[in-house]
Amino acid sequence: MKVKIVSRKFIKPSTPTPKNLCTYKLSSMDKLNTSMNVVGILYYPQSHDNIVGNLNNLEKSLAQILPQFYPFAGRYIKDNHFVDCSDQGAEYVVAQVVDCELNEIIGSGVKPVELNDLLSMEVGEADEITYPILSVQITKFKCAGIAIGICISHRIIDACSFGTFISAWAKASLGDKSTEPLLRPNFDSQLYFPAENYDFRTIRSSKDTSTVTKRILFDRKAIATLRDKVSHLYKNSDRPPSRVLMVSSFLAEALLRSDYAKHGQTRPCLIMQEVNIRERTVPPLSKYSCGNLVLLTTVSCSADESKSMDFERLVPLLGNNVKKAVSDCAKILSNGEDGHRILIDSFVGAIEKLNESGINGLRFTDWSKFKFYEADFGFGKPIWTSVANIPIRNLVMLMNTKENDGIEAWVHLHEKDISYFEQDVEIKKLIS
């Protein structure tokens, strides 16, 4: 896939940011984050409506919503840990694919690393004052289909905030034709989790060029098969285990097996899962709260314990761990600084554990509930949504399918580990 940049400009907010909002301080959780961008790509087929007008409206509607997302038009001042919200503008890039059509890259038609060309920035290009907080790329294909690639600094937002922005931009693009309810983002996480209360270093930059991404589709049938394997564990439950739990447990087992295949022995492991704290705290944070508002819950296993971590054991173990984390969310705001430490300690503890030699760390993040497939910018709803090649080893990102009954898993591994994973007997059944 050959992508040619056609134009590059900066879009300023339609109204200036008020002076009292021109300095946006980071929260403690923002400071802890990896120096990288949260990225996503939405794909739309050829539209028979006013394609030129809709494309022009993308630029106009972006300017209209930037006053609500005012940090996105600013620049990060890393020495002082704040965003200068002086309306420097969000980057807006238009590009053209010159050698293929949209349907040639949908799903398994392209290597994930090639999708990075549909993004206007490298995933690891963050935290420098020269980098925009928000950068979008509108890529046109030969068939008149388009891809909207979005990069937003992880220093400012998490995946849920990313979904909030996409929903707001799509609603603004539709204007009066939108049937979605009014969406009001807020940027007040620093008030709840002030960074000055804690002294810690941020996580290193993520510019690892040795990471390879494998996309694996778990359709409705595959998930039903996994549920059948543990149905005896849930005979007295009104709710079957979730799709995300099924896929996370299956992949965790496969990754533990492939790690054993590489090293010839089991190693201690740390399995990490991210839990969204919005609407779960007391008082509840709005679901439109923007920032990094996740609790990192972990399962730590010794080398001996890792030997017995099969699918049937992992499902209840990971499921109960998430349930406990959801329960802990109620304490985060109601227990003062002790509650805040629940968030901080979860991240710092995981970082310290991963720094130990010989630890096999696996991290799962669930993107399946952020309604990317509902994002209609005037072209209809997307036919596919994706991430790209993310330079973080042993990261598994779980996304919804268009049919809303499956999971697409994006597994990011070191290039020396990917062959062991692909040769795993259960993984081969899914990718063959």
Catalytic, 414? Answer no
- Which residues, other chains included, contact 76 with Cβ-Cβ below 8 Å and sequence gap of 6+? 82, 83, 84, 126, 127, 128, 129, 131, 133, 153, 155, 156
- Report helix, strand or coil for 270: strand
Query: Of the residues 158, 328, 376, 417, which is catalytic?
Result: 376
Best CA proximity match to 154, nearest among 193, 119, 113, 203: 203
CA–CA gap between residue 226 and residue 243 (Å, rounded)? 9
Catalytic, 376? Answer yes
CA of 212: how far to CAs of 59, 82, 421, in Å? 33, 33, 11
Query: Of the residues 87, 154, 340, 417, which is catalytic?
Result: 154
Query: Over the range 44-58, which residues count as b (16 or more CB within 10 Å of their CB) and which as e?
Result: bbebeeebeebbebb
Return the HEC string of 359-418. Answer: CEEEEEEECCCCCHHHCCCCCCCCCEEECCCCCCCCEEEEEECCCCCCEEEEEEEECCCH
CA–CA gap between residue 206 and residue 204 (Å, rounded)? 6
* Token duo for residue 405: 């009954």
Beta bridge partners of 135: 91, 151
| Residues catalogued as catalytic | 154, 376
